[in-house]
């Protein structure tokens, strides 16, 4: 006798953070399809930010820094 299939579970409701991440990934893929690099986008985006004081420049890559280095 064949096994009965389990009923499909309803789709999981995404949190606001998950929705935001999906939206950002979707937009990044669209920009890449259009030929815009991440570096170009960050440069254009940083120019649109309103800054009152002197701040550190944006990194060349989103993961530039010590966050991904292994501990000694």
**Can you give the pLDDT at residue 30?**
92
pLDDT digits (tens, 9 = 90+) for 16-59: 999 999 998 999 899 889 998 888 888 888 888 877 777 676 66
Report the chain's C-alpha Rg in angstroms.
Answer: 21
- Burial bucket for residue 6 (CB in 10 Å: 0-12, 13-18, 19+): exposed
Alpha helices in 1-72 (DSSP H): 16-33, 38-48
Phi/psi of residue 29, nearest 5 degrees: -65, -40
pTM above 0.85, yes or no: no
């Amino acid at each position: 006798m064949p096994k009965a299939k389990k009923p499909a579970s309803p789709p999981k409701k995404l949190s606001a953070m998950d929705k935001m991440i999906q939206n950002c990934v979707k937009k990044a893929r669209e920009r890449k399809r259009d030929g815009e690099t991440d570096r170009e986008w960050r440069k254009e985006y940083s120019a649109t930010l309103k800054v009152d004081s002197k701040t550190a420049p944006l990194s060349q890559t989103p993961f530039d820094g010590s966050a991904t280095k292994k501990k000694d």
